Amino acid sequence: MRSLHLIAVVAIAAGAAALAAAIGNDYYLRIGFMMCVYYLCAAGMNVLVGYAGQKSLGQAGLFAAGAYGAALLSTSLDMNAWVALGAAAVIAGLCGVLIAWPSLRVKGPYLAMVTLAFGIVVEKLVSEWTEVFGGAEGIYNIKPLAVAGVPFTNLHWVWFGIVLAVITHLLLRNLLTGRFGRAFLSLQADEIAAESVGVSVYRYKILAFVIAAVTCGIAGAMVAQQNQYLNSDFISFNLSIFILLLVLFGGSGSLYGPLIGAIALTLIDALLARWPPIQHFAYGGLLLFSLYAMPNGVAGLFARFFAKKPTAVPVQASAEKTEAPARRKDDQSRPLLEVASVSKNFGGVRPANDVTFRLQLGHVHALIGPNGAGKSTMINMISGVLTPSSGRIAFLGSEIGGLESHGICRLGVGRTFQNLRLFASLSVLENVLLGQHCRMKNGFWSSLFALPLAHREEAAANARALSILDTLGLRELAQTPAGSLPYGLQRRVELARALATEPQLLLLDEPAAGLNPQETSELGKLIVQISKLGITILMVEHHMDLVMAISDHVIVLDYGIKIAEGTPSVVQSDKRVIEAYLGAEAA
Amino acid sequence: MLIAVLQAVASGLAVGGAYALIALGFSITFTTTKTLNFSHGDFVSVGSFIGVTVLWLLLGMPINAPLAGVTISVWQQLVAAVVTVTVVGLVGVALYFLAVKPFAGKPGMSWVMTTIGFGIILTSIGLAVWGPSQLVVPSPVGDDTIRIAGVGIRPQEILMFVVAIIVMAVLDGVMHRTIMGKAMRAVAHDQRVASLMGINVTAVMVGAFFLSSALAGLSGFLIAPIASASLYVGLSIALKGFSGAIIGGLSNPRGCVLGGFALGVLESLVNLWQAQWREIVVFLLVILVLAVRPYGLLGFRTVEKV
């Protein structure tokens, strides 16, 4: 499959290269070259926009970083053109980090503003700081790429562009079809859920920005070197918009979208270049209506025509049975989780007030209390969504209060959410595979180059995810988008995802909410089954039947204060508990 | 030196008035529809040209005739202002139906692209009608500089400032005291609930876009005599208005207005020091502010319940 794709790509590229050689007309070659350049911009941008879901309106700034990097290094510092090209990629990548840093904290229109401001700052910098960047007059005599002292001809440039495009495509495909692609998609779908399965939102956002920056920077450097001239007119807000349009028009989130966008828009650009007013108008129309007619771009349109039959599940008959994460035979008396005098304030509201409890290895614990008692807040503090205002939370003896969610997940705490947080557009299998994210060992480079480690890890994760789906009776639905399932099944998928993180402690926030009695009793059995695997459970639940039937230990909160704890029978007869639930007079 | 600084502050406040009007426009659409009009700048420039065009029509002059030295009466100016505000407001309604409505509330922020597209089309039409050249527009209140304590202020700058303040005070009152304003704020808070309470959400949103665009038209009309009308000037003005809104906090209209004025003054002061650096400084500041306060200086952070 993979080699078939490789052969096809190489064949197409060779065909394109041969076509370029046959044409030989400088004007057409120039168009071919620009297609490659724009493809590079779009391919990286697709990772940022289509996968990680971050809009950037300042891509021209990164293009400029690459272009001016290459130009200045090869003129002022007299650097070899090849080295300058490499250095330009690095410079652009660093600029990517620079712009990612403020972008991490802002969302939506604020993110658009930060990236837009970055683009404008760069644009103004290169046009106004003439001593360094030459402004509108520009930089001349930029060294072109050369082999054995012979500078590239136009045909060579096209060939070089095609080679780079092929490499970029293959590498990004490696990256995006596995662990990293899923992690990027999870950011777009739901950052909090992504953190809960061990995806570091920070790291992956920065990575997406850097990938987009590097490809854009290389594209910029190539333009500077091919023209052997660069001035501030190359860098404009319109370029930023154009790069974004390449992706959106072609189809964001599709591997081939950027290619379609680059070819189509470069052609349109060239065809209309003779009539600037019409060209302008056409761009406006494309921007305005293409998203309307094709929300997923041209690639999305194709996909709808050749609607994929749900690809047969990669059935690697899960030979390895779910080996229960070997029940740790640690000292049973040592608490798995210790919550000591934890408080949380939201302004004047205190959903947790000096709460102390311990969770015992292998037990099923329930956290109950009336609405507003601070149960979800407690779960959120343990899982790192919230930071306790004071107090200490220790997991296996080490402090976790204030750690980030993904780190806590990695340590072995999995969770589900009160209001489902599935990655709705991803398939059930992908959701569960994301649960495996933090247990997979293939890093960036091994994924990028599709090294054997990446293959092994991907296969292992797949097998494990499928066996979890088997256990929960979801195997048939593996390829169904999670968001399209009925509510009860979505709850179960979320549980499967949490289990896939291979937790020692599983936090369930109202797992039975919205389930009918039959589903609730099935869930009860399932929880007992999970606990038998050696996974400790802390669940927040309102269904008292369920709580009393399966819990070993119950903790009762009321207005952020722990009012009772003990075995179900002890708690049931506690005076304060009855008061809290039924009011003082009933007691 | 002091006089130079005062001078800069005075003209900064005038331009800041335009920024504030624009910032308020951004805030209005953002709070009601969670979308922004990224072609706001084109609305500003088109606004100034529509104003001039009405003047040409009223004076019986051909399009693109020079206006310098022509006497224009007050009623003609007023008619031009009213027509400009109305027409640009209606263009905003068109924008809403074409570019915003299909995408509002959906993930992916497609409206960024569609509103930019709408703006490009608008500019293309504008270029076809009025051409790319700059146009000197006479001020309705005269062009003689007034000197106050050594600081020279053009009457138009005072007008700009005063009108901006009045418009914003009126809008603030409307938003907080009338049932219409309450409906807008209800939609801003939660569309679905507002709709369940019998508020016509679409009408409110259309109104928001009309109002926001009308403000853009007004600022275009008022700034033309200061900055001279050109189809390219809008972008940078609107970007600074946008920056003002972002710095102040999009969710807080009063913050946006303050942000707009602050930005105008800041830009004017930087201009005093190094003219070509002012945009760089302004936008670097925006990035910095957002890095520290992701929802603007006076914005409200929305906490997501988990």
Q: Is residue A420 part of a domain?
A: no
What average pLDDT does range A489-504 have in this prediction?
A: 93
pLDDT digit string (tens) for A8-53? Answer: 999 999 999 889 888 878 889 999 999 999 999 999 999 999 999 8
Residue in chain A closest to B101 (alpha carbons) equals A292
Q: Which H helix or E strand runs over A344?
A: strand A335-346
Give the model's pLDDT for residue A584: 65
pLDDT digit string (tens) for B128-166? Answer: 888 888 888 887 777 777 787 777 888 888 888 898 899
ipTM of the complex: 0.86
- Give the separation between CA B116 and CA B109, rounded to whole angstroms: 12
**Which residues form the domain of A187?**
2-305
Let me know whether A378 and A241 are in one domain: no
Q: Is residue B114 part of a domain?
A: yes
For residue A265, give the nearest of A245, A236, A251 by alpha carbon: A245
Q: Which H helix or E strand runs over A212?
A: helix A201-227
**Which residues form the domain of B167?**
20-234
Let me know whether A181 and A252 are in one domain: yes
Let me know whether A468 and A529 are in one domain: no
User: Is the per-residue pLDDT at A310 higher than 80?
Assistant: no
How many structural domains comprise chain B? 1
- Give the separation between CA A170 and CA A522, rounded to whole angstroms: 46
At A197, which CATH number?
1.10.3470
Give the model's pLDDT for residue A79: 84
Give the model's pLDDT for residue B304: 66
- Give the separation between CA A530 and CA A414, rounded to whole angstroms: 13
Query: Which of chain A's residues have a Cβ under 8 Å away from the Cβ of B110?
Result: 248, 291, 295
Listed residues A473, A502, A531: the one ending a domain = A502
Among all chains, which residue has been given the structure tokens 């570019």? Answer: B99
Listed residues A453, A483, A502: the one ending a domain = A502
User: Is the per-residue pLDDT at A587 higher than 50?
Assistant: no
B117–A286 C-beta distance less than 8 A: yes
pLDDT digit string (tens) for B82-114? Answer: 999 999 999 999 999 998 888 876 766 778 888
- Give the separation between CA A444 and CA A52, rounded to whole angstroms: 16
Q: Is residue A318 part of a domain?
A: no
B276–A128 C-beta distance less than 8 A: yes
Q: Is residue A418 part of a domain?
A: no
Query: Which of chain B's residues have a Cβ under 8 Å away from the Cβ of A243?
Result: none
3-state secondary structure of A564: strand
Let me know whether A285 and A345 are in one domain: no
Give the model's pLDDT for residue A168: 95
3-state secondary structure of A364: strand
- Give the separation between CA A66 and CA A234, rounded to whole angstroms: 12
Q: Minimal Cα–Cα distance from A363 to chain B, Å?
A: 25
Let me know whether A45 and A7 are in one domain: yes
Let me know whether A485 and A577 are in one domain: no
Give the model's pLDDT for residue B302: 65
- Give the separation between CA A448 and CA A370, rounded to whole angstroms: 50
- pLDDT category of residue A327 using cuts at 50, 70 and 90: very low
A86 Cβ contact partners less than 8 Å away, ≥ 6 residues apart: none
Give the model's pLDDT for residue A333: 61
User: pTM of the full predicted structure?
Assistant: 0.89
- Number of helices (H) and strands (E), helices first, in chain A? 24, 12
User: Is the per-residue pLDDT at A488 higher than 80?
Assistant: yes
Q: Is residue B282 part of a domain?
A: no
pLDDT, averaged across chain A: 87
B109–A112 C-beta distance less than 8 A: yes
Taking the alpha carbons at both ends of chain A, their separation in whole angstroms is 69
Give the model's pLDDT for residue A407: 93
Let me know whether A518 and A468 are in one domain: no
Give the model's pLDDT for residue A485: 92
Let me know whether A279 and A228 are in one domain: yes
The answer to which of A79-88, A300-309, A548-557, B52-61 has the lowest mean pLDDT is A300-309
Q: Which of residues 217-276 of B touch A (CB under 8 A)?
A: 235, 239, 242-243, 246, 250, 276
B198 Cβ contact partners less than 8 Å away, ≥ 6 residues apart: none
At A536, which CATH number?
3.40.50.300
Q: Which of residues 18-47 of B touch A (CB under 8 A)?
A: 30, 34, 36, 38
| Best residue in A59, A95, A106 for a mutation probing chain B (most B CBs within 10 Å) | A106
The answer to which of A358-372, A479-493, A538-552, B282-296 has the lowest mean pLDDT is B282-296
Alpha carbon separation from A262 to A98, A117, B253 (Å, rounded): 27, 25, 40
Let me know whether A232 and A285 are in one domain: yes
Strands A413-415, A505-509: pairing is parallel
| Best residue in B124, B235, B239, B292 for a mutation probing chain A (most A CBs within 10 Å) | B124
Contact B176, B21 (CB under 8 A): no
Among all chains, which residue has been given the structure tokens 């790429």? Answer: A145
A292–B287 C-beta distance less than 8 A: no
A73 Cβ contact partners less than 8 Å away, ≥ 6 residues apart: A79, A83, A84, A87, A88
Give the model's pLDDT for residue B157: 86
Contact B156, B225 (CB under 8 A): yes
Strands A150-151, A146-147: pairing is antiparallel
- Give the separation between CA B217 and CA B46, rounded to whole angstroms: 7
- Give the separation between CA B209 and CA B90, rounded to whole angstroms: 9
pLDDT digit string (tens) for A131-150? Answer: 888 888 888 888 888 888 88
- Give the separation between CA B223 and CA B219, rounded to whole angstroms: 6
DSSP string, chain B: -HHHHHHHHHHHHHHHHHHHHHHHHHHHHHHHHS---TTHHHHHHHHHHHHHHHHHHHHT--TT---TT----HHHHHHHHHHHHHHHHHHHHHHIIIIITTTTTSTT-HHHHHHHHHHHHHHHHHHHHH-S--B----TT-SPPEEETTEEE-HHHHHHHHHHHHHHHHHHHHHHHSHHHHHHHHHHH-HHHHHHTT--HHHHHHHHHHHHHHHHHHHHHHHHHHH-B-TTHHHHHHHHHHHHHHHH-TT-HHHHHHHHHHHHHHHHHHHHH-GGGHHHHHHHHHHHHHHH-TT-SSPPPPPPP-
Query: Which of chain A's residues have a Cβ under 8 Å away from the Cβ of B297?
Result: none
Q: Is residue A419 part of a domain?
A: no
- Residue A554 DSSP class: E
B93 Cβ contact partners less than 8 Å away, ≥ 6 residues apart: B206, B209, B210, B213
Q: Is residue A454 part of a domain?
A: yes
Contact A531, A549 (CB under 8 A): no
Contact B275, B59 (CB under 8 A): no
Q: Is residue B264 part of a domain?
A: no
- pLDDT category of residue A296 using cuts at 50, 70 and 90: confident
pLDDT digit string (tens) for B61-86? Answer: 887 777 777 777 888 888 999 999 99
Residue in chain B closest to A279 (alpha carbons) equals B124
The answer to which of A11-20, A133-142, A438-447, A558-567 has the lowest mean pLDDT is A133-142
- Give the separation between CA B138 and CA A554, rounded to whole angstroms: 79
pLDDT digit string (tens) for B191-200? Answer: 888 888 888 8
Q: Is residue A421 part of a domain?
A: no
Q: Is residue A314 part of a domain?
A: no
User: Is the per-residue pLDDT at A350 higher than 50?
Assistant: yes
Instruction: Tell me which residue in A53, A106, A286 faces B290 most closely, judged by beta carbons.
Output: A106
Let me know whether A390 and A437 are in one domain: no
Give the model's pLDDT for residue B145: 79
What average pLDDT does range A155-179 have in this prediction?
A: 93
User: Is the per-residue pLDDT at A319 higher than 80?
Assistant: no
- pLDDT category of residue A323 using cuts at 50, 70 and 90: very low
- Give the separation between CA A79 and CA B226, rounded to whole angstroms: 48
Let me know whether A112 and A142 are in one domain: yes
Q: Where are the alpha helices (DSSP H) in A339-450?
A: 375-382, 405-411, 428-435, 444-448
Q: Is residue A106 part of a domain?
A: yes
A172 Cβ contact partners less than 8 Å away, ≥ 6 residues apart: A43, A44, A46, A47, A211, A255
Chain A interface includes B129 (CB < 8 A): no
Chain A interface includes B138 (CB < 8 A): no
User: Is the per-residue pLDDT at A512 higher than 60?
Assistant: yes
Residue in chain B closest to A126 (alpha carbons) equals B280
What average pLDDT does range B3-17 have in this prediction?
A: 87
> Other C-beta atoms within 10 Å of A170: how many?
18
- Residue A312 DSSP class: P
How many structural domains comprise chain A? 3
pLDDT, averaged across chain B: 86
Contact B241, B18 (CB under 8 A): yes
In this prediction, what percent of chain A has a pLDDT beyond 90? 49
A165 Cβ contact partners less than 8 Å away, ≥ 6 residues apart: A13, A36, A39, A40, A43
Ramachandran category for residue A324: left, alpha or beta (phi over 0 → left; psi -120 to 50 → alpha): beta
Let me know whether A246 and A213 are in one domain: yes
What average pLDDT does range B202-213 have in this prediction?
A: 92
